[in-house]
Structures are given as structure tokens and as C-alpha cells.
Amino acid sequence: MALVYRLLLRSLVTRARVIALSAIGLVGILLGLAIGVSDLSAADRSHAITRDLLGGFGLNLVVPVTALVFASAAFGDPTDDRTMVYLWLTPIPRWRLVAAGWAAALSVAAPVAILPVTVAAAVAGAPGRLVAGTVAGALLATMGYTALFLGLGLLVRRALAWGLAYVLIWELAVARISKGAARMSISVYSRSVLSDVGQVVKPLNAAAVSTSLIVLGVTVVAAMALTTRTLTRADVA
């Protein structure tokens, strides 16, 4: 598995991806800086940091988009350049290939997504517990999204477009207005963890931390199982 992990990790880290996603992260840091030097009241500053910067920009945009780019490419790139055959035609159990793909995507997506969001929280003047909550929420969100988007690269040809549509339509729109849909939103659970650890106002449709951890764990396992099934049944060119 380590061999597959190293191979996929090496192919995932391209200069273009890291620069493009770091640029988005940099925008977040600049936003944090702007909040930090602004003359907002304490209540408004807390609201701006929690809801707009971390919940809105960080967990709703930077984290899912970064996870999408790397996770969908983990198996999408080998499928597109037709090197998948070298991975597929091995006696390695499919679940181990999927686990290696997830670990590789997470290894690169986590620092690229979490670091700028955390720095943004810090420079915006967030208290220590909120910074800790940001790390916890962003990490859980990255884990959930990478697992979810891993199979997308195998299932569809334009994984980025489909993934973005999912983030924009489901996570940012439907899950915000529907309580039922919020039960199936990674963003809602990760923001629940952020607010709970950070001891700030809970977002709309928030869940308990224990529920959030269980649901995110189940999401990861279910998504990996589905990706394993897809990989097993894939037609490899």
C-alpha cells in the first residue's frame, strides 16, 4: 500500500494545483488580515470570523474545493492518462488501493486547505479555542470530502465540474435551507464541530459533536466502500 500511496502522492502534487489552491488560501489569509485590522465591534468581529471567514469561506469553499481537486485526481489522473492499468492489474486488494488513494489525497489536501484557513483565523484575531476548532472542523471536513470525491474521478469524466456543482448546489444552497438536507451535509457537521470546540454560536441546523463525528466517520467508510466497488467493476482502458 505504501508503494501505491507514494506513487499517487507524487502524481497529485503538481505545481499548477498547489499554486492555484494556495492562491485561494492566500485570499482567505488576506480576508482574515482585513478583519483583524478592521475597527469592528467585538460581536461583529466574532460574527465575521466565525460565520463569514471560517464557516463561509474556509469550510464551505477552500476545504471542499481543495479536497475535490486532489481527491478526484487521485484515480482520475491515472484513468485519464491510462496508467490505471498498471495499478489495476496487480493482486493488491481493491480496498487497499482505495485506502492508499484516500491517504495520498488527504496528505496533500489537508495542509493546502487547513493551513491557510487556520492562519486566516489567527490573523483575524480569533481566540485560541476557535483556532483549535478551525483545525478540528477543517480536518474532519477534508477527510469527509476527500473520501466523497475520491470515487468521483472513477465515476465521471468531468469530476471537477460535477464536484463543484455538488458543493455549490448541495452544500452551499440546499443544505442551508433544508433541515433534512442538512443531515446529509459534510459542511454542516464540520461547522458544528468548529463551533462546539471553538465555543461560538452554532450554525443553523447544527448537530452535536458526537453525532457529527459518527456521521463523518460513516461518510468516510461508506464513500470508500463505494469507491472500492466502483474500482472493482471498472472497465480499465
Residue type, 110: A
* Residue 90 in contact with another protein, rule: CB under 8 A: yes
Whole-number Å distance between alpha carbons of 163 and 76 = 13
Binding mask 183-222 for another protein (x = CB under 8 A): ----------------------------------------
Binding another protein by CB under 8 A: which of 71, 87, 114, 152?
87
Is 93 or 128 the residue whose CB approaches another protein more closely? 93
CA–CA distance, 175 with 188 (Å, rounded to integer): 8
CB of 155 to another protein, least distance (A): 17
Residue 163, judged by CB atoms within 10 A of its CB (0-12, 13-18, 19+), counts as buried
In the complex, least distance from residue 4 CB atom to another protein, rounded to whole angstroms: 7
Terminal CA-CA length for the chain = 22
| Residues binding another protein: number (CB under 8 A) | 21
Site for another protein in 45-84 (CB under 8 A): 81-83
Q: How far is the CB of 130 from another protein (least distance, A)?
A: 41
Q: Give me 223's grid cell.
A: 464513500
- Distance (Å, rounded) from C-alpha 70 to C-alpha 102? 9
| Alpha-carbon gap, residue 5 to 91, rounded angstroms | 16
Question: Judged by CB under 8 A, does residue 157 bind another protein?
Answer: no
The binding site for another protein (CB under 8 A) comprises 3-4, 7, 10-11, 81-83, 85-94, 235-237
